[in-house]
Structure 1
Amino acid sequence: MQAGFHFWNFSIPGAPDTIPDVLSRTARTAEQGGFSQFTVMDHWFQMERVAPAEEPMLEAYTTLGFVAAHTHTMRIGPLVTGVTYRYPGLLAKIVTTLDVLSTGRAMLGIGAAWYDREHHGLGVPYPPIAERFERLEETLQIAQQMWSDDNGPYRGTHYELAETLSSPQPIQRPHPPIMIGGQGERKTLRLVAQYAQIVNLTTDDPERVAHLLDVLRGHCERLGTDYDAIEKTVVSAFSDPHDPGFFTQMEKLSALGITQVVLGVRPADPVGQVARLADEVLPTLAQI
């Protein structure tokens, strides 16, 4: 099993002056230690469920461009972009740019968005959940069209593009992988089955994961898409990777088809903590 590293908190000692050095060293240490993926949150305010909204938060794609310049092999992307944060054509252009400058390592992680406070705070429209899912599906369609040979118009319910020109095209062909995150059984997992190459389940409970994967398989069967071709990943937000029981949990997830677990650390010493994960956790994970 592979491991991804999620840098979700910029409240490191001495911030903001220390952020560039700590972020670059954390990313390099993660890559050298064997992490296969490096992600950041796509938020404007820190999430109130984990810390005060006033704590430091950097814009995701600027941050990922910085990370790209300091790494060479890890896949990089947001975990995950809210569909309401950027116009779809611009989003596809941003991800293309990241893919080109990282020499083919970008992914588009995307979801329906949920953090109303940051939308209202910065004056960004926050439509009802049903509309956000409609916009998410149109955004996926627009990204796929921009990453194809079709430069023609796109006309949807919420978005109209006169031409879907994107030059240069991404390094990765046919396009950077699309990752959809969440646990929604009726809409989220249906969109995964129809459009995504990666699913990120926001739980590492084996029973819950087994159920969600069964739902995903059902969507794939109804749509005629290949369930086995979808990379299956989980976020391990509350399990302690240094607890011996963690590996038993990962073995159960691997048996279900999970191939990557996303780990993160607290902001006090991200460089030291990611080095410890690389030394103490990744070698055993790699054998699962």
Structure 2
Amino acid sequence: MTVTDHAWADGVDGLRRIAAIADEGGLDTIWVPDHLFQADPTSHPQAELFEAVSMLGFLAAITSRARLGMLVSPVPFRPPAVQVKAIATLDALTRGRAWFGVGIGWEGDEARAMGVPLGPTKARFEQLEELLDIADRMFTGDSSPYVGQHFQLEGPICSPRPASRPPVLIGGTGEQKTLRMVARRADACNLFDLPDGGTTVRHKLDVLRKHCEDSGRPYDEIEKTLSTRLTPDDTVGSFVERCREQASWGIDHAVVIRTGPWTPESARILTAAVPEVTAF
């Protein structure tokens, strides 16, 4: 479940209610977007949106089982050691339930509006590589200096360390750079459910498989996630059948969004589908 629209009529109580249903109902992960204003195309920029790291801290306190992560955090938003420290803290507090979802960022209007330097695409890919290098060091307790092209750290300390190494999900579907980086550096990718019967998804997975072969990385080590939308007409049965079809394309993990805030009724469609979907 990805919680993108935060405009519940009862505010934080709406979030609390949905998180409880997801956590108790067996959903694998509660994802949150890392934007600084509302970017859901079915909403508008002035709509309610909680800041991602703060929201994850709240979710950590009110859940006990579901994994938690950002889908995904743009590398320019936070200094790398601050980003890594935040994820390590989340993982330590939740005893190993954090994802480390990252990407290069794409929303130029948002960055300009909020005063965040976005930088050229090439530089952001380089920064993402350096962020992952820094995370590898900090997660293992290595506080030695780091000197990169974009980031220089004199002694990054990560204490307490995460309960376990948070899995890395790299967002984006670019075939030349992003999926190659997934093959080399990530534990998971995130693709998009387009209305073409899975043609694009299967192609992207073929590209990822080739990059894995070139990198000497087992393709099956990478969790394949797919952002898909729960429609107003969906039932438990129709959602299960869609997941079954997506699994036949090679998808391991459905990341489900919906138009408008999640409601108890829509969330329970997902939780009711859990036993069948996990049996695929």
Same fold, judged at TM 0.5 (above): yes
Question: Which TM-score band (shorter chain)?
Answer: over 0.9
Equivalent residue in structure 1 for 2:245, among 237, 245, 252? 252
Distance 1:56 1:126, change over 3 A: same
Alignment of 1:1-288 (within 5 A): 5-13=1-9, 18-47=10-39, 49-172=41-164, 175-203=165-193, 205-237=197-229, 241-242=234-235, 246-267=239-260, 270-279=263-272, 281-288=273-280
SS of the residue 1:234 aligns to: strand
CA RMSD in angstroms, aligned pairs only: 1.9
Against the structure 1 CA distance between its residues 245 and 266, is the aligned structure 2 distance closer, same or farther, given a 3 Å change threshold? closer
How many residue pairs align between the two structures?
277
Question: Equivalent pairs: percent with the same residue?
Answer: 37
TM-score, normalization by structure 2: 0.92
Aligned partners of 1:265 and 1:274 also within 8 Å: no
Return the offset for 1:109: 0.6
Mean Cα displacement is larger for which, 231-240 or 43-52? 231-240
Report the alpha carbon displacement of residue 207 of structure 1 after superposing the two structures with TM. Answer: 1.8
Q: Distance in 1 between matches of 2:87 and 2:15?
A: 20
Alpha-carbon distance in 1 for matches of 2:190, 2:40: 22
Q: Give the unaligned 5+ runs of structure 2.
A: none
- How far does the alpha carbon of each residue in 1:116-157 deviate from its partner, in whole angstroms, 9 at most, with x for none? 122111211111212111111111111111112432111111
**Unaligned stretches of 5+ residues in structure 1:** none
Distance 1:242-1:85 versus aligned 2 partners, 3 A rule: same
- 1:194-216, Cα deviation, whole Å (9 max, x unpaired): 11111111236522111111111
How far apart, CA to CA, are the structure 2 residues paired with 1:196 and 1:48? 25
Letter matched to residue 265 of structure 2: G
